[in-house]
Amino acid sequence: MTDTLNTKELKRFAAVNRSVKKVDGVALVTGQPVYTDDFDVPGALHVKLVRSPHAHAIIKEIDVSRALKIPGVVTILTYKDLPRIPFTRAGQGYPEPSPYDTFVLDRKVRYVGDPVAIVAAETEKAARLGAKAVKVEYEVLDAVLDFEQATNEDAPIIHDEPEAIGIHDASKNIAAHFEMEIGNIDEALESCDKVITRTYHTKTQLHAMMEPHASISYFDPNGRLTVITSTQVPFHARRILSRIFNIPIGDIRVIKPRIGGGFGGKQAVHLEPYVVAVTLKTKRPARLVFDRSEVSMSTNIRHEMKYTVTVGATSDGKIKVIDMKGLSNTGAYGEHALTTFMVSGSKTLPIYNKVEAVRFSGDVVYTNLPSAGAYRGYGAPQGLFALDCTIDELAHELGLDPLVVKEKNSIREGESSPIFRIMGEGREGVDQIVRSCKLQECIDKGKEAIGWSEKRGKVARRGNKVRGIGCAIAMQGSGIAKIDMGAATIKMNEDGSFNLLLGATDLGTGSDTIMAQIAAEVLEVDYDKIKVYSSDTDMTPFDTGAYASSTTYVSGNAVRKAAEMVKERILEKAAVYLEEPVENLRVKNAKVVSLNTDREVTYEELCTKLFYTFEQEQIAATASYVGEESPPPFLASFAEVEVDLETGKIELVKFVSYADCGTPLNPVQALGQLEGATVQGIGWALFEDVIYGKDGRMLTNDFFTYKIPTRMDYGKLECGFVDSYEPTGPFGAKSIAEIGIDTPIPAIANAIYDATGVRLRKAPFNSEELFFEILKKEV
């Protein structure tokens, strides 16, 4: 299976590498009630949270008496009513690398929006009125609102609770710290002809998925706790709920219905504990749906990061040293603090694997701002902005084509990087060779599409408007090697269909569909004969969940293994049934056929006989898969921008991204992932700007103030794939969901420089700032 296959063999695929329609597509386009909030549970209490108006405060007193008198209010819970068990909301492999620094409710609040009380009522209106009537008296504390001041001597300590576990240095507000060095930085710098040091700052971003987070909990007729929830991590949610409320894992069932987008924003337990607390207290069903401002302020946002990068090279552009020193802002709680920080190095530094010395270090700090967490790209875009643009600057200073410098120093097929071994996620990584890398093909296609050779370095000016182009190259991973595990169960039905039960979590990504395609490819049936049921902790086998670009590679390999086991069993039974040696038999078009005789049996006939009259047995198999490696997809992106020199207004004229994701198992769905991630990255680069008030309140918590791209806001978009085959992937596949968001910021920054000669080192890029920089240059 590890032999390199050429792309000609792709043509032999019957079910994968085809753009079949999504298995849940009809339900989605006809508007069926498939999301959490669409489930009507009779008698459910409506839950509302009372939230802190202060960024940092201690609750002196909570008076719920007036609220309890409001007709319809059933119960109100405060920190006094809940178990004081520290946990992390982050949905990660256990034990989690994130600090246990959170309680369902605490006496201390750490950002504007931190929950203070849970109100449950017969109607939504009563719950809302009840929440308003809860009286809270606070002792307001000084707050840390600038992450660069979090470690100051006089900064207030945000996490002084003695129960917290795993905080790197709570007294200095440092949630996590990481450092590593390979080779000798100082010696290598000595031998360079050119060394530059630059600082790049990437602000936060909101997930802004269309479906607001929602959870419903109830006891089923047998007294088992059931939670229907919009989550990317049902099995982690079950484990975390079990810990918080001391309920055996087996007594909790978590169901993920269809999800209206996640992007990392649902990779944590955001509202499950609140509804469960109400159900436990009242024995009644409870439902909670966040409103848009809660989705924005009180779930997770992206980690804001600032990197100072030193790059040294020879005069002909051979990069010899990279040193990245970073600071990351995790906000009020440390979800994904260490791991997003490590990924900003581990998914960028291996691109430039020919260096003699490389160092990566820094802190992740707490602030009294909304809590950062997982978000598509998971640190890689912030790291890449700093690294790619510093290399771009270096190339310009050496008088070289930045694309040539990036190309010449980048990793190639068959090569490795020591980073793979040293930097994992929260711990050591895994040594690996890059078995598939068609980065050069991505560069060549993109270069052609943007017109790199003709346009680069030439000022195209029309009136007040100038145009410029820029490039960036990126990598990601495919799951977390030796940590992420996915499992699948396949069982055969007597009409020749199969149930595919899997833990993997389809958030709208189309993973249920490609999992069906993988099973269909192995079993030689149409993909609609594979009946997928996913993400229900009672009914499906385990899966760590949908994150880290893992599903296609990790869960996909599990499905392939399970299908192969089922196929083997079908052949064994058919051999007895047809009275032929098993080595003469093959599966073909939903039948078992003999290569030697004309004997054959359909799946339908075989399974019916197996159920009722012949060697009675249910053919089924469960397989698990843990990635031994995490094969990186690669990407080359190019931006063309137009800047109005009189106003600084930036228009994106064209954006091109070509990716190597191995075999795209469903090309239309894969393209949708790349296009979607690219436009999310373009929005972040140009106008998705989170702004806080002086009191730390997020002011941009709706779509009027936080502007995500519409159909009119980006220029021409060209996305595509190059031929590639990852030998360890299911039918040659690697990941595609995250990588597209890595490049828009650096590619656009580099294009703005090409157009104007101005380097913008803080993203998102703002026209006013560019305008003043242009003025400064002209003076």
Partner 1 sequence: MKLELNVNGKVHSVDINPGEMLLDVLRRLGYKSVRRSCDNASCGNCTVLVDGKPILSCTTFAARAAGHKIETVESLAEEGNLHPIQESLLETGGAQCGFCIPGFTLTTKALLEENPEPTEEEIREALNGNLCRCTGYESQIRAILNLVKKRGGLSDD
For partner 1, which is the closer residue by CB, 670 or 760? 670
Cα–Cα distance for residue pair 450/454, rounded to 1 Å: 9
In whole angstroms, how close is the CB of 263 to partner 1 at the nearest point? 7
The Cα–Cα gap between 412 and 673 comes to: 24
Q: How far apart are CA 499 and CA 332, in angstroms?
A: 43
CB neighbourhood size of 581 (10 A): 10
How far apart (Å, rounded) are the C-alpha atoms in residues 425 and 337? 11
CB 61 within 8 A of CB 136: yes
- Comparison of 27 and 140: residue with beta carbon closer to partner 1: 27
Q: Measured from the CB of residue 737, what is the shortest distance to partner 1 in angstroms?
A: 11
CB 330 within 8 A of CB 368: no
Beta bridge mates, 585:
594
The reply on whether position 565 binds partner 1 by CB under 8 A is: no
Nearer to partner 1, 568 or 651 (CB): 651
Check residue 28 for interaction with partner 1 (CB under 8 A).
Answer: yes
Does residue number 18 form part of the binding site for partner 1 (CB under 8 A)? no
- Complex with partner 1: residue 25 or 457, whichever CB lies closer: 25
Return the residue matching tokens 């552009």.
Answer: 317
Residue 233 CB, nearest approach to partner 1 (Å)? 16
Q: Does 21 bind partner 1 (CB under 8 A)?
A: yes
How far apart CA 675 and CA 116 sit, in angstroms, is 40
Please identify, among the stretches 33-41, 453-461, 483-491, 577-585, the one whose residues bind partner 1 according to the rule CB under 8 A: 33-41
Cis ω before 727 (30° cut-off from 0)? no
User: Is the Cβ–Cβ distance between 180 and 423 less than 8 Å?
Assistant: yes
Residue 508 interacting with partner 1 (CB under 8 A) = yes
CB nearer partner 1, residue 266 or residue 561 = 266
For partner 1, which stretch binds (CB under 8 A), given 187-195, 203-211, 387-395, 401-409? 203-211
- C-beta of residue 252 within 8 angstroms of C-beta of residue 238: yes
- Binders of partner 1 among 474-503, rule CB under 8 A? none
CB of 232 to partner 1, least distance (A): 12
8-state DSSP, 504: -
CB of 475 to partner 1, least distance (A): 21
| Total residues interacting with partner 1, rule: CB under 8 A | 55
Using CB under 8 A, which of 309, 349, 411, 679 touches partner 1? 679
User: Which of 31, 62, 224, 182 is CA-nearest to residue 133?
Assistant: 62
Task: Confirm or reject binding of residue 42 to partner 1 (CB under 8 A).
Answer: no
CA 28 to each of CA 23, 24, 40, 529, 643: distance values in angstroms, whole numbers, following the listed order: 10, 6, 18, 20, 40
Binding-site member from 76, 143, 677, 745 for partner 1 (CB under 8 A): 677
The distance of closest approach from Cβ of residue 247 to partner 1 in the complex, given in angstroms and rounded to an integer, is 30
Verify binding: residue 662, partner 1, rule CB under 8 A.
no
Of 380, 397, 577, 338, the residue nearest 475 (C-alpha): 380
Least separation in angstroms between residue 662's CB and partner 1 is 19
> 188: closest CA among 358, 422, 393, 316?
358
Binding pattern for the stretch 688-727 against partner 1, x by CB under 8 A and - elsewhere: --------------xxx---xxxxx----x-x--------
Please report how close the Cβ of residue 709 comes to partner 1 at its closest, in angstroms.
8
Q: Which of residues 284-303 bind partner 1 (CB under 8 A)?
A: 289, 291-292
Is 48 strand, coil or helix? Answer: strand
Least distance between partner 1 and beta carbon 533 (Å): 18
- By CB under 8 A, residue 210 contacts partner 1: yes
Tell me which of 16, 17, 24, 155 binds partner 1, using CB under 8 A.
Answer: 24
Strand partners, 157: none
Q: Per CB under 8 A, does 512 bind partner 1?
A: no
Among positions 29, 140, 595, 691, the unique one binding partner 1 when judged by CB under 8 A: 29
Smallest distance, partner 1 to C-beta of residue 752, A: 21
For residue 572, give the H/E element and its range: helix 556-578
Query: How many Å apart are CA 442 and CA 772, to the nearest integer?
Result: 36
Q: Is the dihedral of CA 518, 522, 524, 525 positive or negative?
A: negative
Note whether 378 binds partner 1 by CB under 8 A: no
Q: Nearest approach, Cβ of 506 to partner 1 (angstroms)?
A: 9
Residue 19 interacts with partner 1 (CB under 8 A): yes or no: yes
Interaction of residue 267 with partner 1, rule CB under 8 A: no
Residue placing its CB nearer to partner 1 in the complex, 508 or 730? 508
The nearest distance, CB 707 to partner 1, in angstroms, is 9
**Does 68 interact with partner 1 (rule: CB under 8 A)?**
no
Among 207, 239, 359, 445, binds partner 1 (CB under 8 A): 207
Instruction: Compute the least distance from the CB of residue 510 to partner 1, in Å.
Output: 7
Task: Determine if 38 is a binding residue for partner 1 (CB under 8 A).
Answer: yes
Q: Which of 74, 109, 144, 209 binds partner 1 (CB under 8 A)?
A: 209
For position 330 contacting partner 1 by CB under 8 A, the verdict is no
Q: Which stretch binds partner 1 (CB under 8 A): 15-23, 429-437, 571-579, 771-779?
A: 15-23
Q: Which of 97, 676, 729, 730 binds partner 1 (CB under 8 A)?
A: 676
Q: Applying CB under 8 A, which of residues 101, 106, 114, 211 lies at the interface with partner 1?
A: 211
Distance CA 459, CA 442 (A): 25
Whole-angstrom Cα distance, residue 724 to residue 737?
17
**CB nearer to partner 1: pick between 113 and 510:** 510
Smallest gap from residue 29 Cβ to partner 1 (A) = 4
Give yes or no for residue 320 binding partner 1 (CB under 8 A). Answer: no
CA–CA separation, 85 and 104 (whole Å): 8
> Is residue 26 involved in binding partner 1 (CB under 8 A)?
yes
251 contacts partner 1 (rule: CB under 8 A):
no
Q: Rule CB under 8 A: say whether 449 interacts with partner 1.
A: no
Strand order in the sheet with 115-121: 73-77, 115-121, 45-51, 286-289, 214-219, 225-229, 252-255
Rule CB under 8 A: say whether 675 interacts with partner 1: yes
Residues 493-528, buried b or exposed e (16+ Cβ, 10 A)?
Answer: beebbbebbbbbbbbbbbbbbbbbbbbbbbbbbbbe
Reported as type and span, the H/E element at residue 474 is strand 465-475
Residue 678 beta carbon to partner 1: minimum distance, rounded to whole angstroms: 6
Q: Which residues are CB-neighbours of 442 under 8 A, at least 6 positions away?
A: 473, 634, 635, 636, 658, 659, 660, 722
Question: Which of 241, 308, 233 has the alpha carbon at shortest distance from 272?
Answer: 241
C-alpha span between 531 and 534 (Å, rounded): 10
Of 629, 88, 692, the C-alpha closest to 338 is: 88
Distance CA 576, CA 385 (A): 61
CB of 204 to partner 1, least distance (A): 16
Q: What share of the chain is helix, strand, coil (3-state, %, to 5)?
A: 30, 25, 45
- Give the up-direction half-sphere exposure of residue 405: CA atoms within 13 A in the CB hemisphere: 29
Q: Which is nearer to partner 1, 93 or 676 (CB)?
A: 676
Residue 182's DSSP bridge partners are 358
Nearer to partner 1, 592 or 737 (CB): 737
Q: Which of 16, 70, 259, 322 binds partner 1 (CB under 8 A)?
A: 259
Residue numbers at the binding site for partner 1 (CB under 8 A): 19, 21-22, 24-35, 37-38, 207-212, 258-261, 263, 289, 291-292, 507-510, 668-669, 671-672, 675-680, 702-704, 708-712, 717, 719
